[in-house]
């Protein structure tokens, strides 16, 4: 599928929303949770490691649950995942893939197929907020800021931060180049796009095993769109390395 085809699909989705007969687009949260967390150096998948008294992913989900505008929260887990979810409002789907992009694509494929049979399900015009399970310090204020900024946007967008530091390119552990930091941003999540448009953008990269797709925004960029940047928070970092756990624990405990 080329960018022209995707543009046609995106325009048709927007036109559906403009019609008086079409229901208002809703917001759904999708949390990829099928990763192994190998860089974190944990015994179990890092999203299930305890931080400040509960699993990392539950801190993430608690923040999402506090946003009343989210119709439903879907967690994408691996087919062999046996984790027991303590909250009935969390909906796990066992369709996780080898990569984040594959997990999101698989989940959207299933959700949109269900939506074709049930009008209460996810429709192409609805918004999907994809959020990393390991960004457990996200707050309802940041999520609502993103929704407010993107609900009337033609494309959608993501939380991000302007790059504050000097950026270096390394070769064999030595600096080979210094890049200007002007106009450079650090992408965060949630990333908010129409379900149909995001699914189409990811679908166009299936044959290439989603090569080059590092997040939902990159998929939309490759499809010819320019996602909106919405200022996030330095605390909304992704817990990735062992040292990140202690920092996340301190910040979470400081909120209580």
Write down the H helix ranges in the chain.
Answer: 3-18, 56-65, 100-117, 140-150, 195-203, 216-222, 242-254
| Cβ neighbours for 98, distance < 8 A, ≥ 6 positions apart | none
* Counts of helices then strands in the chain (DSSP H, E): 7, 11
Q: Is 183 inside a domain boundary?
A: no
Q: Is 177 inside a domain boundary?
A: no
Distance in angstroms (rounded) separating the CA atoms of residues 85 and 63: 16
- Model pTM score: 0.88
Report the number of distinct structural domains present in the chain: 1
- Nearest one of 157, 152, 155, 182 to 167, comparing CA atoms: 182
Per-residue model confidence as pLDDT tens for the chain (256 residues): 565 566 666 665 555 554 456 689 999 999 999 976 544 445 578 899 999 999 999 999 999 999 999 999 999 999 999 888 877 789 999 999 999 999 999 999 999 999 999 999 999 999 999 999 999 999 999 999 999 999 999 999 999 999 999 999 999 999 999 999 999 999 999 999 999 999 999 999 999 999 999 999 999 999 999 999 999 999 999 999 999 999 999 999 999 7
Q: Is 218 inside a domain boundary?
A: yes
Q: Is 165 inside a domain boundary?
A: no
Distance in angstroms (rounded) separating the CA atoms of residues 82 and 168: 42
Q: Is 240 inside a domain boundary?
A: yes
Compute how many other C-beta atoms are within 10 angstroms of the C-beta atom of residue 4.
9
* pLDDT at res. 43: 59
Q: Is 172 inside a domain boundary?
A: no
Q: How many residues does the chain have?
A: 256
CATH number of the domain bearing residue 236: 3.90.550.10
Domain span at residue 30 reads 3-156+188-250
* pLDDT at res. 111: 98
Distance in angstroms (rounded) separating the CA atoms of residues 185 and 102: 25
* pLDDT at res. 40: 45
Answer yes or no: are the C-beta atoms of 57 and 33 closer than 8 Å: yes
Answer yes or no: are the C-beta atoms of 228 and 221 closer than 8 Å: no
Answer yes or no: are the C-beta atoms of 135 and 27 closer than 8 Å: no
Phi, psi of 120 (to 5 degrees): -80, -15
Distance in angstroms (rounded) separating the CA atoms of residues 162 and 183: 7
* pLDDT at res. 82: 87
Q: Is 215 inside a domain boundary?
A: yes
Compute how many other C-beta atoms are within 10 angstroms of the C-beta atom of residue 172.
5
Q: Is 166 inside a domain boundary?
A: no
């Amino acid at each position: 599928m080329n960018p022209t085809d995707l543009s046609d699909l995106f325009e048709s989705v927007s036109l559906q929303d403009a019609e008086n007969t079409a229901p208002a687009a809703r917001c759904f949260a999708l949390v990829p949770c099928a990763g192994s967390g190998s860089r974190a150096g944990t015994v179990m998948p890092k999203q299930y490691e305890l931080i400040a008294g509960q699993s990392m992913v539950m801190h993430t989900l608690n923040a999402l649950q506090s946003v009343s505008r989210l119709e439903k929260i879907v967690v994408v887990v691996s087919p062999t995942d046996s984790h027991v979810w303590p909250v009935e409002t969390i909906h796990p789907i066992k369709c996780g893939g080898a990569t984040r992009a594959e997990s999101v694509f698989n989940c959207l494929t299933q959700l949109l197929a269900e939506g074709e049979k049930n009008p209460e399900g996810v429709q192409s015009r609805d918004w999907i907020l994809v959020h990393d399970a390991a960004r457990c310090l996200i707050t309802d204020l940041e999520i609502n800021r993103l929704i407010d900024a993107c609900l009337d946007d033609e494309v959608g967008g993501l939380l991000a931060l302007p790059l504050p530091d000097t950026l270096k390119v390394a070769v064999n552990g030595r600096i080979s180049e210094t890049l200007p930091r002007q106009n450079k941003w650090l992408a965060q999540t949630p990333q908010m796009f129409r379900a149909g448009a995001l699914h189409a953008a990811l679908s166009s990269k299936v044959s290439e095993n989603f090569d080059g797709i590092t997040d939902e925004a990159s998929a939309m960029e490759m499809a010819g769109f320019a996602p909106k940047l919405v200022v996030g928070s330095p605390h909304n970092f992704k817990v990735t390395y062992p040292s990140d756990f202690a920092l996340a624990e301190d910040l979470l405990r400081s909120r209580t």
